[in-house]
Amino acid sequence: MRTPAHLLWIYRAYVLIFFLYLVAPLVAAGAFAFNDSLFPSLPWQGFTLAWFFSPVEPKLGLFHDERLLRGLGNSVHNGLIVAALSVAAGTANAFLFVRKDFPFKALLYILMVVPLVIPGVILGISILVFASMIANFADQEFGLFLTWLRPGIPLVVLGQFSFLTTITSLVIAARLQKFDVALEEAALNLGASGLRVLMTITFPFLLPALFSAFVVAFLVSFENFNTTLMLVGSDAPLTVTMYDRMVKVGSTPVLNAVSVVLMLGSGLLALLSVVVQRERSPSS
Amino acid sequence: MGRDAGRLSLILLLAPFALWIGLLILLPQIGIGYVSLREKVGFNRYEYGFGNYAAFFGEPIYRNTLLRTAWISVLVTVLALILGFPVAYYIAKMARERSRAALFLMCLIPLWVSDLVRAYGWIVLLRETGVISTTLVSMGLIAEPVEMLYNDVTVVIGLVYTVILFMIVPLVSTLQGMDDALLEAGYNLGGSRFTVFRRIVVPYAMPGIVSGCIITFMLAAGSYLTPILLGGKNSSWFTEQIYNQFITRYNWEAGATFGVLLLGFTSLVVWAGLKLTGQSLATTVAKE
């Protein structure tokens, strides 16, 4: 049945409006970083890069704002650690669920997926409570001060790791499932050791998935707010620093500058991961 | 030797999984369950019972916050489905091959932008001195600037914005698998556009609809930034209560009780959704 032309145009207009709705807040957040004004609002006062590079108040630029820079540093630091840990654990989980058979496999698989459907706030408070219970117990029974179990970077890393591992496991398992086991068997028959097969055949095949799992984990860790907020100590990552600034100081264009940097950074990383996926695996 | 090596590698692979799920998921959940059951009666002295839960249900403010969060989350889920379905259908079925990939990627871009930036973008657009209000005034459509933040409509718009991509992505991937011949057959048999949609498209897209709705609902009910930044101080959102009890008031017993209730409530909704539609959690969430 042919759709009448005017209906089709209405439909297209709807889709167009929808995409405008999608980009509107992002454009607004980005554009006002370049407005030469003390407030992120109209009228347009002319183009400036002061909110990035100016070293003096009142337009202290992002790259001279020590607290924001420290937040950025903390975010990168946490993101790299969390991504590395969750890719390592995700790889183990992928091999476990794709290659091995064991009792209660279906049940354990559901347990692996569960962290994705627990709200981030709950993951945060439950890990906070549990860590404090252990720390209090160690303090009372043995007189040990386990400071890493109090809010701070180690707990933030653990909190983000707890749900990112599900994502990395799923990404890596999907790739491992496509692997033809006959390739490994052939190599073993030709006399290669198990480790050699893993390093020269299986691992190179998995590499694109490992890379994109790493990028995804890094990005999600970088942007995470809910879980992090519950576990954060004095070393706040960028999202928490920015939120603090928003609530206490109100919105200033330097926050728009932060938004621009965040959008550019995550856009480039996401693009990179798409490109690597395409290049490495033309067949799949 | 082969069998022993197999066992060893199984144990080695199982160990990180067990540590992860055990120490970071299961035991902490049991931990908040435990804390929610105790009441402080003195310094380092506790009594155990359901007092915290009784206190929660006895206090209308808390009760209403949970109901309000639930009802807005359901509304957001329904709106995301209604608004997102046509877009997903367009991407999957109407767009040409080339523009399809581009449109799909465009859908994913906001996904990579932090919630915080998105909410901040809405603030810049909607507040009293914001872009929309100023533009309307300068166009002479309204006499004075209006404050569009801090009301429920804005919270719903912002939440739909935050979650709608998680609705569209599963819908697109399900709809892409649908053979156009099914639609033609429906029309040839005399079905109207509406009948074909109701009897063929919707049943086919059901797995996508279910997984989209579950993820959307979870994200909406568990969201923190959007309701607080767009709804202001009086947004009375449930996660905000949890944060207040834990961090501001340092009342962990009450906070843990709220946490258990939120988790119980969202799990109940997810479980009911899966049961009603006959889907399983593993296939629904793990597809992406």
Q: Does the residue A55 lie in any domain? A: no
**CA-to-CA dists, residue B195 to A28, A158, B198, angstroms:** 42, 51, 5
Please report the pLDDT score of residue B1 as a whole number: 45
Identity of the residue in A129, A229, A259 whose CB atom sits nearest the CB atom of B35: A129
**Residues pairing with A11 in the sheet:** none
B46 beta partners: B40
- Distance from B93 to chain A by nearest Cα, in Å? 13
Query: A170 to chain B, minimum CA–CA distance in Å?
Result: 7
Q: For residue B283, name the pLDDT band (cuts at 50, 70, 90).
A: low
In a domain, B11, yes or no: no
The whole-angstrom separation of Cα B238 and Cα B223 is 9
Alpha-carbon distance B60 to nearest alpha carbon in chain A (angstroms): 22
8 Å CB contact of B116 and A110: no
Residues on chain B touching A11 (C-beta within 8 angstroms): 86, 90, 94
Q: Do A89 and B16 touch (CB under 8 A)?
A: yes
| Residue B216 near chain A (CB below 8 Å) | no
What's residue B206's pLDDT?
A: 84
* Reported confidence tier of residue B277, pLDDT bands at 50, 70, 90: confident
What pTM, to 2 d.p., does this model score? 0.86
ipTM for the predicted complex:
0.84
Q: Which two tokens stand for residue A268?
A: 């480039």
Q: Which of B129, B242, B288 sits opposite A125 (nearest CB)?
A: B242
Chain B residue numbers touching A128 (CB-CB < 8 A): 246
Test the A interface: residue of B20, B226, B235, B247 with most A CBs within 10 Å:
B20
Residue A272 lies inside a defined structural domain of this protein: yes
A284 falls within a domain: no
B252, part of any domain: yes
Kindly give the parts of chain A with pLDDT less than 50: 282-284
The reply to whether B253 falls in a domain is yes
Q: Which residue has the higher pLDDT, B222 or A275?
A: B222
Give the number of A-B residue pairs with CB atoms closer than 8 Å: 225
Let me know if residue A153 belongs to a domain: yes
**Are B112 and A11 within 8 A, CB to CB?**
no
Q: Please tell me the predicted confidence (pLDDT) of residue A130.
A: 92
Tell me the chain A residues in contact with residue B25 when contact means C-beta distances shorter than 8 Å. 111, 114-115, 118, 123, 162
Q: Considering the domain boundaries, does residue B42 fall inside one?
A: no
Number of independent structural domains in chain A:
1
SS (H, E, C) B49-67: CCHHHHHHHHCHHHHHHHH
Q: Which of A82, A98, A117, A228 to substitute to test the interface with B, most B CBs within 10 Å?
A: A117
Residues of A in contact with B149 (CB under 8 A): none
CATH code for the domain of B75: 1.10.3720.10
CATH number at residue A133: 1.10.3720.10
A211 within domain boundaries? yes
DSSP string, B236-288: --HHHHHHIIIIIS--HHHHHHHHHHHHHHHHHHHHHHHHHHT--HHHHHTT-
Coil, strand or helix at A3: coil
In a domain, A115, yes or no: yes
Q: Cβ–Cβ of B224/A229 closer than 8 Å?
A: yes
- Best residue in A3, A22, A82, A197 for a mutation probing chain B (most B CBs within 10 Å): A22
Q: So what's the pLDDT on residue A2?
A: 61
Examine residue A273 and state whether it is found in any structural domain, yes or no: yes
Does pLDDT of B287 surpass 60? no
Q: Are A146 and A135 in contact (CB under 8 A)?
A: yes
User: In a mutagenesis test of the A interface, which of B37, B219, B224, B260 is the best target, namely the one with the most A β-carbons within 10 Å?
Assistant: B224
Structural domain harbouring A128: 71-277
Residue B41 lies in a domain: no
Which residues does chain B have within 8 Å of residue A267's beta carbon, measured at their own beta carbons? 109, 112
* A77 lies in some domain: yes
Q: Are B246 and A128 in contact (CB under 8 A)?
A: yes
> B250 — contact with chain A (CB < 8 Å)?
no
- Provide the domain limits for residue B233: 66-285
B43 within some domain: no
Convert the pLDDT of each residue in B43-71 to its tens digit.
Answer: 777 778 788 888 888 888 888 888 889 89
Identify the CA nearest to A77 among candidates A153, A172, A8: A153
What is the average pLDDT across B78-95?
A: 89
Instruction: Look up tokens 């995470």; give the residue.
Output: A224
Task: Give the residue on B whose Cα is nearest the Cα of A268.
Answer: B112
Portion of chain B with pLDDT greater than 90, in percent: 12
Residue B50 lies in a domain: no
Q: Does B270 touch chain A (CB under 8 A)?
A: yes
Counted domains in chain B:
1
User: Which of A100-114, B6-20, B228-242 bottoms out in mean pLDDT, i.e. has the lowest?
Assistant: B228-242
In the prediction, which pLDDT does B135 show? Answer: 78
**In this structure, is residue B14 part of a structural domain?**
no
